């Protein structure tokens, strides 16, 4: 029977083999994480200043409405929320309007900043600045207003009443609308064909 010879490894070679490190395993590659978008502090300051400006306008306008119109104050006591807009209508032949505002959930004080705009044919000459106040009767009306936006159609005139809300006695489709200028309640500005929607820059 044939015997296998045991292979003799010289001690020096054996020492070298034992001292040699094993091949290093590559670490598992982690999924790349996108770097966060850098925040511009100056932009944040500008946005915060704009919010404070809108808040001050809304508070002043609402207070003025409550003083000038007892019926509006009566309705305000019943509302779920409200919205106030600072608007400017302008044009020569082709009219338009733009502005900003805030919708407020009355109980919690939660604020959602919004914008408005319109365009159409008209007889406007020059510009006119005015405020629009929406009183919202229930949560459904408020949530629809701030999430889906609101388009002022012919029903807006009914909600405002024949004198900009001065003689309105109740909510129409969950809304009561009042228009004011520096002199008080007004009816000369028609808010029909105007869009009101969330301002995603101020309320992401």
Lowest pLDDT segment from 22-31, 138-147, 179-188? 22-31
**Mean pLDDT within 165-178:** 74
Q: Which residues pair with 142 in a beta bridge?
A: none
pLDDT category at 194 given cuts 50, 70, 90 is confident
Q: Which domain holds residue 180?
A: 41-198
pLDDT > 90 in the chain, percent: 44
Number of domains in the chain: 1
Give CA–CA dist 204/198, Å, rounded: 9
- Ordered DSSP codes for 92-134: EEEEEEEEEEEEEETTT--EEEEEEEEEEEEEEEEEEEEEEEE
Cα separation values, 192 from 69, 97, 145, 180, Å: 23, 11, 15, 16
**Mean pLDDT within 93-101:** 79
- Residue 196, pLDDT score: 94
Q: Please give the model's pTM, rounded to 2 decimal places.
A: 0.73
pLDDT tens-digit readout, 15-51: 555 555 555 555 666 666 676 667 788 999 999 999 9
On whether residue 19 sits in a domain, the answer given is no
- Say whether pLDDT at 199 is over 90: yes
51 torsion bin: left (phi>0), alpha (psi -120 to 50), beta (else):
alpha
Task: Supply φ then ψ for residue 47, to 5 degrees.
Answer: -65, -40
């Amino acid at each position: 029977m044939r015997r296998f010879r045991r292979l003799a490894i010289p001690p020096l070679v054996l020492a070298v083999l034992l001292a040699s490190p094993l091949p290093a395993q590559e670490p598992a590659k982690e999924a790349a994480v996108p770097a966060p978008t850098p925040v511009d502090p100056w932009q944040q300051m500008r946005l915060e200043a704009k919010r404070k400006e809108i808040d001050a306008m809304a508070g002043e306008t609402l207070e003025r409405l409550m003083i000038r119109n007892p019926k509006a104050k009566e309705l305000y006591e019943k509302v779920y929320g409200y919205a106030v807009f600072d608007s400017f209508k302008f044009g020569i032949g082709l009219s338009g309007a733009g502005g900003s505002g805030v919708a407020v959930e009355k109980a919690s004080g939660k604020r959602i900043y919004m914008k408005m705009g319109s365009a159409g044919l008209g007889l406007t000459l020059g510009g006119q600045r005015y405020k629009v106040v929406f009183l919202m009767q229930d949560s459904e009306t408020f949530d629809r207003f701030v999430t889906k936006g609101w388009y002022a159609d012919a029903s807006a005139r009914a909600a405002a009443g024949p004198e900009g809300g001065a003689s309105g006695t109740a909510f129409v489709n969950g809304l009561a609308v009042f228009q004011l200028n520096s002199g008080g309640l007004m009816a000369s500005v028609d808010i029909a064909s105007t869009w009101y929607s969330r301002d995603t820059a101020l309320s992401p």
